[in-house]
Amino acid sequence: MSDAVSALKGASFDGLVRVEECGLQGMITLRGDLSNRAVAKAATSVSGQKMPGQNRANVAGESGICWMSPDELLVLVPYSEAGAAVEKMTATLGKVHSLAVNVSDARAVFRLSGPAARDVLAKLCPVDLSPEAFGPGQFRRTRLAQVPAAFWMDDAETFRIVCFRSVAQYVFDLLKAAAHPAAAVGYHTSVGG
């Protein structure tokens, strides 16, 4: 089998914050009735995380569950385990009306880390990123400039951003421009301002 590569092969940039492409990440889209026990079990058993509430994500490292919409979850697993995870989930789901698909190679993941991370991301999306409004544990789907994206916070200074692979270079360029050393705004954090 050919070697899988991520969209930007781990490209990184150091500016107001560190922007890096995270490399290969296993991602599984699970659609179905989220109140169904089989659907919840399929997600929790392969990720080892609890079911998240509305607009929330339970993520630890490369494993987790993100709430995408009232009938959709994004299940994160290590890349090499994604194929087996889908098979396991499909078996768990049985005849329940649902769908589990491996979308790992259709997405790109970025990490934004540094004290000014809120300021950098807030330039690109119509979301209140103040610490009172958005913090670790929450999950948000929105747009980054012109393309759809989703993100959550691993800790108070780190975002992880998921976008479509076809726009990975565009998103990386956006993040680089927003994190340019001369582009500090110091709105949410005084660091870098």
Partner 1 sequence: MLILQCPYCGIDAEETELAPGGEAHLKRHGPGSSDEDFHDYLFARENPRGVHFERWRHANGCGKWFHAARDTATLEVFGTYPAQTTEPPKEIRDAITARRPGWRWREFS
Residues that bind partner 1 (CB under 8 A): 54-55, 68-70, 72, 126, 140-143, 148
What is the nearest approach in angstroms of partner 1 to the Cβ of residue 97? 17
Edge-to-edge strands, sheet with 18-21: 12-14, 18-21, 107-113, 158-164, 147-155, 139-144
Give 140 or 160: the residue with its C-beta nearer to partner 1: 140
Quote the radius of gyration of the chain (alpha carbons, Å). Answer: 17
159: which 2 tokens? 């975002």
What is the nearest approach in angstroms of partner 1 to the Cβ of residue 31? 11
58: which 2 tokens? 């339970």
**Neighbouring-strand partners of residue 125:** none
Q: Which amino acid is at 132?
A: E
6-9: long-range pairs with CB below 8 Å, 24+: 6/108, 6/109, 7/108, 7/165, 7/168, 7/169, 8/108, 8/168, 8/169, 8/172
What is the nearest approach in angstroms of partner 1 to the Cβ of residue 28? 18
Give 38 or 125: the residue with its C-beta nearer to partner 1: 125
Give 43 or 163: the residue with its C-beta nearer to partner 1: 163
- Classify burial at 191, counting beta carbons within 10 Å of its beta carbon; exposed 0-12, middle 13-18, buried 19 or more: middle
What is the nearest approach in angstroms of partner 1 to the Cβ of residue 68? 7
Give 79 or 152: the residue with its C-beta nearer to partner 1: 152
What is the nearest approach in angstroms of partner 1 to the Cβ of residue 143? 4
Give 128 or 155: the residue with its C-beta nearer to partner 1: 128
